[in-house]
Amino acid sequence: MILADKIIEERKKNGWSQEELAEKLGVTRQSVSKWEGAQSVPDLNRLLEMSRLFGVSTDYLLKDEIEKPVKNEGDEENADTPLRVVSLEEAQRFLRLKRENARQIAAGVFLCILGVALLALLGGLSEYGPLPLSEDAGGALGMVLLLILIAVAVTRFIRCGQRMREFEFMEEEEFETAYGVTGMAREVRREYAEKYAPLTIAGAVLCIVGIVPLFIAVIFTQSERVYVLMAVLMLLIIGAGAACFILAGVNRGAVDMLLQEGDYLRRKKQRSGLLSTVSLVYWMMATAIYLVWSFQVNFEVSWIVWPVAGVLYPAVLAVTRAVAEKRGE
């Protein structure tokens, strides 16, 4: 069997179209078509990647006399440990729970940002009017409301985690999917592309436009009270944008996790523990900085920790991924 026939056979075994295999390899569909038509031969890097994707050795792909797939050495080591198989019913339940959790998580994040907005509002209006409260009393009341809203949000997050506990293995382990799961997941992805793409756009627009109220206040007024109100409005707009991002991202990530694509490629799962640890430490540090700043300096300006932390978070994750890849983790 020649290389072209082996590529066709292995691609069909995995239920991939030429377009899907091309996407995984970072080439065009025409390139895959030429390989399968024996009109051209993939380069060494593509052969190595196909070997990994198909779970076969490069010898099997390159040597015509080898008719049966030969597993990679890493696969042979785990040959006695069969991968867990996700049934169609489990996959459907997983996607449904992820959809429900996406709404809960988005609402929880918005509640946290709302709490910061209330803290800024009460602290600012108690100092600059018209609230009949001292600055300390306004800040203390705002802090109480913030902690209550954070507690409600954390409760939502914990419940979401508990509901997904049976599917935790999908984030860290390799698994197989039963017949029909891949086709169902790809159909869901197409539906999500139409439904959630506008949410991603809306989230980006809201996060960019969110700063506008603060600029308007600086340009057109010198009132401290207006500054406070515009800062609160900015937080609410950014909170809405973050909720849009979460709704779109969680649902899109659920399909990627089920298909083991994107950030959930099998080789990338090895880095998931590192990313989780970095994320936990990062947000614990952000919380500690916020609380220390709030209690020792000023409640009115410490809210800036959260938008700054949110902006820097993707950069921290990107650096972490780059370091992990460089070290081969």
pLDDT 10s digits, 193-226: 888 888 888 888 888 888 888 788 778 777 778 8
Show the tokens assigned to 324.
């992990």
pLDDT of residue 180: 82
Classify each residue of 244-254 as buried b or exposed e, where b means 16 or more C-beta atoms within 10 Å of its C-beta.
bbbbbbbbbbb
pLDDT in tens, 231-261: 888 889 988 988 898 888 888 888 888 887 7
| pLDDT band with cut points at 50, 70 and 90 for residue 71 | low
Taking residue 235's Cβ as centre, other Cβ atoms within 10 Å add up to 25
Task: Tell which wins on pLDDT, 114 or 323.
Answer: 114
Q: Rounded CA gap, 105 and 301, in Å?
A: 26
Q: Is 67 exposed, middle or buried (0-12, 13-18, 19+ CB in 10 A)?
A: exposed
Q: Is 268 exposed, middle or buried (0-12, 13-18, 19+ CB in 10 A)?
A: middle
Mean of the pLDDT values across residues 67-84?
56
Could you give phi then psi for residue 175, rounded to 5 degrees? -150, 165
pLDDT of residue 329: 44
Show the tokens assigned to 226.
């207006």
Statement: residue 266 has pLDDT above 70: no
Q: Rounded CA gap, 318 and 147, in Å?
A: 30
Q: How far is CA 95 from CA 92, 164, 258, 271, 299, in A?
A: 5, 10, 9, 23, 41
Show the tokens assigned to 155.
């409760």
End-to-end CA distance of the chain: 36
**Which H, E and C letters describe the chain, residue by residue?**
CCHHHHHHHHHHHCCCCHHHHHHHHCCCHHHHHHHHCCCCCCCHHHHHHHHHHHCCCHHHHHCCCCCCCCCCHHHHHCCCCCCEEECHHHHHHHHHHHHHHHHHHHHHHHHHHHHHHHHHHHHHHHHHCCCCCCHHHHHHHHHHHHHHHHHHHHHHHHHHHHHCHHHCHHHHCCEEECCCHHHHHHHHHHHHHHHHHHHHHHHHHHHHHCCHHHHHHHHHCCCHHHHHHHHHHHHHHHHHHHHHHHHHHHHHHHHHHHHCCHHHCCCHHHHHHHHHHHHHHHHHHHHHHHHHHHHHCCHHHHCCHHHHHHHHHHHHHHHHHHHHHHHCC
Mean of the pLDDT values across residues 47-59?
83
Statement: residue 152 has pLDDT above 90: yes
pLDDT of residue 277: 66
Angle at 241 between CA 238 and CA 244, to 5 degrees: 155
pLDDT of residue 326: 61
Whole-number average pLDDT of the chain? 79
Q: Rounded CA gap, 219 and 225, in Å?
A: 14
Show the tokens assigned to 165.
């506990």
Mean of the pLDDT values across residues 272-287?
67
Statement: residue 70 has pLDDT above 60: no
pLDDT of residue 181: 84
Statement: residue 185 has pLDDT above 70: yes
Q: Rounded CA gap, 1 and 323, in Å?
A: 41
Backbone CA torsion sign across 165, 170, 175, 181: positive
Task: Tell which wins on pLDDT, 114 or 57.
Answer: 114
Q: Which residues pair with 86 in a beta bridge?
A: 177
Q: What percent of the chain has pLDDT over 70?
A: 81
pLDDT of residue 96: 92
Q: What percent of the chain has pLDDT over 90?
A: 7
Q: Are strands 175-177 and 84-86 parallel, antiparallel or unpaired?
A: parallel
pTM above 0.75, yes or no: no
